[in-house]
Amino acid sequence: MGKYIKYEIKGSYKFILGIITILLVAFSLIQMNIYKLSQQSNAVQNLKVTPFITGISGLVVFGAFLTAFFYIIGSFRKELYENRGYLTFTLPLTGNQIVGAKFIVAMMWFIILGLFVVVYNLLLGSIIFSNDWIANMKDIIQLLREILNQGTIALGVLGILSSIMTLILIYFSITVSRVSIRNKKLGSLWFVLFLILNGVIAYVILKINTIFPYYMDINVFEISHIDNVNLDNVNFVSQTVKNMGSPILLNDNCCNAYINITGLITKILITIGSFLGTGYLIENKIDL
């Protein structure tokens, strides 16, 4: 599988480098503009511009990830619909090895893109704002300290798990639609399938959470029934979600979170299941 990972990287690194180049240019421009603004003493105008710059930065990052995402999905589809499949699927590899390699490389690219955005901005910032860099870093570390707590970490981990599940569900949907319908024109049906699967899974998890409403307190790692969770502190978003059923994650107003154990396990199992399902279909059911 390691070898297949190598060729997955060789086949896609140029595109990712392209995205990184665009990010590099975009963030250089953004930071230079911030610097220019910071030189102007008009504080009122600064205040007006800050959200605008934050918005642009967000859009750039979002756009970059979306492009990478579509590229990765597209190259998976190509494997199933184009001539290259004749090479890939006659290799002496199991379906799981092929899907696994593709998944690992996809994750690697997302991590690299994320790291690049963070590291490059810090580095560039340190050069542009050289005099108050140490002060800036202190601010950033302070900010991180405030933000990072059990609650946000749990949210982050769950977010990553959800992204993993989304990617694997997309692989699964593409493969299922390829196996069941040979017609290439109907190939975009996978998206409908993906939406349906997503809906069904969300519903199933919600149901399971309601049947087994046992939550783990991240702070003390104790499991308790939802009735015993102190919901007074639970923040507005979680409260709203809670009113529709039992969500996987309940965040409180400050620093703690409660995770529904069965819901979490179900989510993980569904992810593993769709991974193995994709591997099985690729190995045993694909008709090129």
Q: Binders of another protein among 90-149, rule CB under 8 A?
A: 90-94
Q: Give min distance, CB of 56 to another protein, in A.
A: 33
Q: Give min distance, CB of 84 to another protein, in A.
A: 5
Name the residue type at position 102: K
Q: Which of 39, 43, 48, 86 forms a contact with another protein (CB under 8 A)?
A: 86
| Tokens (6 digits) for 147 | 């933000």
By C-beta, is 25 or 288 nearer to another protein?
288
Name the residue type at position 231: L
Q: Which of 11, 74, 114, 199 forms a contact with another protein (CB under 8 A)?
A: 11
> Which of these ranges, 61-69, 205-213, 219-227, 279-287, lies near another protein under the rule CB under 8 A?
279-287
Q: Does 5 bind another protein (CB under 8 A)?
A: no
Q: Give min distance, CB of 251 to another protein, in A.
A: 45
* Count of beta carbons in the 10 Å neighbourhood of residue 29: 12
> Which of these ranges, 46-54, 83-91, 158-166, 223-231, lies near another protein under the rule CB under 8 A?
83-91
Q: Give min distance, CB of 284 to another protein, in A.
A: 7
Residue 226, H or E segment? none
Q: Give min distance, CB of 63 to another protein, in A.
A: 24
Tell me how many residues contact another protein (CB under 8 A). 25
Q: Which of 107, 15, 104, 121 is nearest to 61 (CA)?
A: 121
CA 258, CA 260: separation in Å to the nearest integer?
Answer: 7
Name the residue type at position 204: V
For residue 112, what are the CA distances in angstroms to 32, 90, 107, 109? 24, 31, 9, 5
Instruction: Let me know: does 40 contact 46? Beta carbons within 8 Å.
Output: yes
CA 61, CA 163: separation in Å to the nearest integer?
Answer: 16
Q: Give min distance, CB of 288 to another protein, in A.
A: 4
Q: Does 232 bind another protein (CB under 8 A)?
A: no
Q: Binders of another protein among 14-33, rule CB under 8 A?
A: 14
3 state DSSP class of 216? strand
Phi-psi group of 2: left, alpha or beta (phi > 0 → left; psi -120 to 50 → alpha; rest → beta): alpha
In the complex, the residues that contact another protein under the rule CB under 8 A are: 3-4, 6-7, 10-11, 14, 83-87, 89-94, 182, 283-288
